[in-house]
Amino acid sequence: MHKWYLAQCRPREEERALQNLSNQGIDAFYPYAEVKKRQRNKLVTRVEALFPGYLFVRADLDIVSVTTISSTRGVRSLVRFGGGPCVVPSHLVYDLMAHCDSDALREQLSDLPKAGEKVRIEQGPFSGLEAIYVQADGDTRAILLLTLLQKETRTSFANQEFSKVLKPAK
């Protein structure tokens, strides 16, 4: 009977493992999302793994041996608990498949502030002040709502000049 298992991959070889498992006729799933991040003060879109170093494998271990899966290029081994490989509930994998690379997931993984979030200005004459993130202003700048002398002012700042205010842990 086919079941889903968790496989640990060699460092940064998830794509290779996925391809090689597919070539052997073994179903595999590598959850990822495209996210926008700041890199060298520009917004870049990157593909990031939800679980770096791991992928899900669907196989019947009565037909395909654990050794076959573990010796596949890119795969280190199946994750084990106790004596045998860990079975992952199929509904969990299918739920991940349905939500993988969704807009909500992409926004959750992004390191950029969202509209309405507090940011702290780190550089320049307004250093140390808090502002509200309004929107991106191109790839290298953003519009912030700053309160000065009891008056709200929209001002453009370079992305490197501010950072998100982290919420305290509960």
Q: What is the pLDDT of residues 18-77, one digit of tens each?
A: 999 999 999 999 888 777 787 787 778 887 888 899 999 999 999 999 999 999 999 999
Is-contact 85 78, C-beta < 8 A? yes
pLDDT at residue 170, rounded to an integer: 52
Angle formed at CA 19 by CA 13 and CA 24, multiple of 5 degrees: 125
Round to whole Å and give the CA distance between 126 and 146: 9
pLDDT at residue 164, rounded to an integer: 81
Query: How do the domains of the chain map onto residue ranges?
Result: 3-159
Q: Six-digit token pair at 8?
A: 């640990």
What is the SS3 assignment for 22?
A: helix
Best CATH choice for the domain 3-159 from the list 3.30.70.940, 3.30.230.10, 3.40.50.150, 3.40.50.1370: 3.30.70.940
Average pLDDT over residues 113-140: 85
pTM: 0.60
